[in-house]
């Protein structure tokens, strides 16, 4: 048994330590917002937060995250920065097919939590590895800028 602190709750999971975190989250814990994309950590569809930092869950063994806080897109609505990012995504109509958007939103939220006023270069650097087959990169950057502006207004 492995205890996983997932979305603020402890989950006892009967899995091996080498099981990819993605499958423990989806198939065992039952949170299906995190998506399988490539299985090699290259596309970003499976992005989660481990202690607040973005990580690819498809290549992260569950045994390597013992004692760490794991957050998925399923619980982002309870996070104040996550709420702002999700609203910006909707306001700018980022998603087309939407498959990659959970990972995109998780990466954007992690960026804005550590840097609420990123430059375009910092946005691009933070989003590297999050692939959108629909090509909504300009809308993603616009949504991140909008969320950043909103964060500044909320803090003022």
Q: What is the pLDDT of residues 34-84, one digit of tens each?
A: 999 999 999 999 999 999 999 999 999 999 999 999 999 999 999 999 999
Whole-number pLDDT of residue 154: 82
DSSP 6-56: ETTEEEEE---TTSBHHHIIIIIS----SPPS-SSSSS-TTEEEETTEEEE
Q: Are 145 and 123 in contact (CB under 8 A)?
A: yes
- Distance (Å, whole) CA 92 – CA 117: 18
pTM for the whole thing? 0.95
% of the chain surpassing 70 pLDDT: 99
Determine the CATH number of domain 79-155.
1.10.150.120
Whole-number pLDDT of residue 156: 59
Half-sphere exposure of 83 (CA within 13 A, CB side): 6
Q: Where are the domains of the chain?
A: 2-74, 79-155
Whole-number pLDDT of residue 85: 98
Has domain 2-74 been given CATH number 3.10.20.30? yes
């Amino acid at each position: 048994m492995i205890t996983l602190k997932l979305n603020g709750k402890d989950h006892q999971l009967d899995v091996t330590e080498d099981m990819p975190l993605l499958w423990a989250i989806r198939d065992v814990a039952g949170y299906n917002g995190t998506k399988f994309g490539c299985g090699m950590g290259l596309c970003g569809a499976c992005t989660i937060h481990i202690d607040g930092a973005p990580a690819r869950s498809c290549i992260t063994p569950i045994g390597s995250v013992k004692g760490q806080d794991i957050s998925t897109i399923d619980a982002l609505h309870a996070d104040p920065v996550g709420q702002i990012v999700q609203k910006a995504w909707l306001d700018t109509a980022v998603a087309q097919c939407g498959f990659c958007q959970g990972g995109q939103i998780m990466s954007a939220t992690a960026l804005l939590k550590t840097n609420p006023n990123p430059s375009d270069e910092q946005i691009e650097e933070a989003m590297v590895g999050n692939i959108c087959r629909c090509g909504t990169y300009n809308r993603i950057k616009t949504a991140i800028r909008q969320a950043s502006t909103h964060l500044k207004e909320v803090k003022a």
